[in-house]
Amino acid sequence: MGEQRQSKRLDPMSTRNTDWFWEEAAEGRLSIQKCTQCGHLHHPPRPVCPDCHCLELAPTQMSGRGTVYSRIQVHYPAPIGFDEPPVIALIDLEEGGVRLISNIVDATLDEIATDAPVVVDFEKTAKGKTLPVFRLASKGVGA
Ligand SMILES: [Zn+2]
C-alpha cells in the first residue's frame, strides 16, 4: 500500500459500532463485519447479525476487489470537500453479499462501465482520517 491520497474531504461520521471500520481503513485495510455463526458479511457495521441474531461479528479483511453495480456523478448541489464533481458508486465486493457506497476516483463517468472491475484505494480527509475509495482496476492503484 503506497502513500494515501490527500483530499479536502470531510471526516466520516463514526460511532462505537463503526470506529473499527475507519481504524482498519487507516491501516490500509478494507474490512467488513463477518458473522462468526452464519458466516454472512454485513455492512454497514451493526451490533447484531440480521440473519441469525448472533452478537459476535468479526472484522474481516476483504481483497479490495469488486465490480461496479451502478454509479452517478454529483454536480448539484456541489458536495463539500471535492474539487471536481465526485463519482459515487455502488460496489459489489468479490467476496459476495456486500454492496458498498463509495467513490471512484481518477476516472470520468463515461470511463466507468457497469460491471467494471475496481480495486480499493485509500484517501486522507483534510483532518487526516482515512476513507476507502475505489479506482478502475484497468488503471491500477497508484497510477
Ligand atoms: Zn449470522
User: How far apart are the CA of 54 and the centre of ligand 1, in A?
Assistant: 5
User: How far apart are the CA of 52 and the centre of ligand 1, in A?
Assistant: 4
- Element (H or E) spanning 103, and its range? strand 99-104
Residue 35 to residue 57: CA distance in whole angstroms: 4
The x, y and z cell numbers of residue 47, run together, are 451490533
Residue 24 to residue 32: CA distance in whole angstroms: 10
pLDDT at 101: 97
DSSP 3-27: PPEE--PPPPP--TTTHHHHHHHHT
Q: Name residue 87's beta-bridge partners.
A: 73, 104
How much is the average pLDDT of 64-84?
Answer: 94
Name the pTM for this structure.
0.91
**Beta strands 117-124 and 5-6: pairing type?**
parallel
pLDDT at 143: 46
Over the stretch 20-54, which tens digit does the pLDDT of each residue have?
999 999 999 999 999 999 999 999 999 999 999 99
Over the stretch 76-126, which tens digit does the pLDDT of each residue have?
998 999 989 999 999 999 999 899 999 999 999 999 999 999 999 999 999
User: How far apart are the CA of 51 and the centre of ligand 1, in A?
Assistant: 5
CB-count exposure of residue 90 (10 Å: 0-12, 13-18, 19+): middle
- In b/e form, how buried is each residue of 45-54, taking b as 16+ CB within 10 angstroms? beeebeeeee
The x, y and z cell numbers of residue 128, run together, are 487526516
Predicted confidence band at 2 (pLDDT cuts at 50, 70, 90)? low
pLDDT at 141: 61
Domain residue limits, the chain: 5-136
Predicted confidence band at 142 (pLDDT cuts at 50, 70, 90)? low
User: How far apart are the CA of 59 and the centre of ligand 1, in A?
Assistant: 13
User: How far apart are the CA of 20 and the centre of ligand 1, in A?
Assistant: 19
User: How far apart are the CA of 50 and the centre of ligand 1, in A?
Assistant: 7
111: helix, coil or strand?
helix
